[in-house]
Structure 1
């Protein structure tokens, strides 16, 4: 622990990455120009040690696709899939969604040791009046954590669910309450299990292109870094994911956060290629 009350994040495994990796605008500033889609995750994984899988929100992938991700990435790389929206946005965690949760876990377990926490991103219209559905789902997640070694994080987008009772409910079932920087939510950290899950989202549609920093949030990132450092001695792992909508170009935001947390900036694949042939 430092004298200023902040823990040394270098002593805690920290995973920093983007939300998704397949963006056309990244070809040039991040990937070498004309990089094909099938090569992007391989190049991405040279740069960052984790990624939040955004595509799984729209549909559960085929097993061979998941196996391809595993084979394309190095040892110690971590994938954090987002639960399909059918479970969160359409069924609102109703009991009928539990079978889908189990099926999704079976598919994502093909990532083996590279499978990180699985995110439930709840919609803005999921509120306290539906708390019973959450209470009915958490025992399932607790059981899956015990039987399959899978961990979970959940993000709420309605302020009625910001109470201490909800945090305590998650704590009893070993589920992380995602700390979120989003336009309508309070940006704060509430530790509910042995890992921290942070999402820097921003306002959807804020930028027409995602190829450079367009809104400097240095002061806000500094505050997040300080809060994360203060929480570091209370958890065993830290996961931080940045969205293109946060500053305009999430790989650069990740590098900023890496620097603030003493991780050092990483070299983008396009720059790695330039150095290789210099």
Structure 2
């Protein structure tokens, strides 16, 4: 994932601190707390088809046809970017659903035919095909992931709302905004989040080094969809995860329903390591009991007498120069 990427030598200049929650977040969670729901936490990656995970979290000699089955043994959800590049079919998604447990959730991204080529206009035929395709997931279908084209500015708000209102009301939807004006213009910012709230659509928070404006901390529903983009297990990846764990802990206390946390790296090779660290810290600080990914190297003699794998070690924090905000870079349209 290249969105928000900065060069390695510039990482230490980024202010990675999470901003305070937006004003509407506390209100949204307070309304939900009275319902007394037990929060659910889902942790996953963006894809399962990683050959470089064979020998890491997939057993040696695992065939590609079995990747999803093994992926679902380590994670309870997937941010399904594959559906962005290719229209899903019912038989395809039904087949994928058969390979995972009942508690697993697929979170498919709307195809680029809808969001990037036609930019949400005159897309009924494509949208019907997409919805028919993802219906094969059945009860394992999680929220749908809508990313309007990054060049769509606030003046396209009506187009965005019309598309959202055209969808079946029983579908759960999260929207990722990328055009900088959604965040830099106060009136546009208020308008789009009010629109999402009245349509009961969630707002995706994307934590990437070079686009700190997308870390908006505004929950338009009592659920969070977080896309975390790490930097190859740089020490700041771990301190950033620590901050997220503490924020999620606060949200759980305030009444959040669900958290979907998707781990990305610019090189996805190392997403499992950081996911394991996240899960360990959530279990430690938030009282969750999320099963940790088990690495191949942890199986066997590396286990202790009780069969538990040793915890992922957090690198020693390096001394950083005072943080400065990295310059905003143009978003890559497909990620």
Give the TM-score category using the shorter length.
0.7 to 0.9
The equivalent of 1:64 in structure 2 is: 91
Give the alignment partner of residue 175 of structure 1, picking from 196, 201, 210: 201
1:225 corresponds to 2:245: yes
Higher CA-based Rg: 2
CA contact (8 A) 2:42 2:259 kept: yes
Q: Which moved more, 1:16-25 or 1:224-233?
A: 224-233
Task: Give the SS at the match of 1:108.
Answer: helix
Contact 1:198 1:240 in 2 (8 A): yes
Name whichever of 242-251 and 21-30 sits farther off. Answer: 242-251
Query: What is the CA–CA distance in structure 2 between the aligned matches of 1:154 and 1:135, rounded to whole Å?
Result: 11
Using a 3 Å threshold, how does the CA distance of structure 1 residues 215 and 59 change in structure 2: closer, same or farther?
A: farther
Residue in structure 1 matched with residue 228 of structure 2 by the alignment: 200
1:138-171 deviation digits (Å, cap 9, x = unpaired): 2113xx12xxx32110101112113122111000
Which moved further from structure 2: 154-163 or 246-255? 246-255
C-alpha displacement of 1:128: 1.3
Q: Taking structure 1 as reference, are residues 252 and 161 closer, same or farther at Cα in structure 2, changes over 3 Å only?
A: same
In the superposition, relative to structure 1, how do residues 84 and 274 fare at CA in structure 2: closer, same or farther (>3 Å)? farther
Structure 2: distance between partners of 1:105 and 1:224: 32
Structure 1: tracts of 5 or more residues without a match: 208-212
Q: How high is the TM-score relative to the length of structure 2?
A: 0.70
Q: 2: CA distance between counterparts of 1:106 and 1:41?
A: 22
RMSD: 2.8
Corresponding position of 2:104:
77
After TM superposition, the score normalised by the length of structure 1 is 0.83
Greater relative contact order, per chain length (Cα 8 Å cut-off, separation 6+): 2
> Cα gap change, 1:58/1:274 in structure 2, threshold over 3 Å: closer, same or farther?
farther
Give the whole-Å Cα distance in 2 for the aligned partners of 1:125 and 1:33: 43
Residue aligning to 1:136: 162
Decide whether aligned partners of structure 1 residues 226 and 29 sit closer, same or farther in structure 2, where only a CA change above 3 A counts. Answer: same
More helix by share: 1
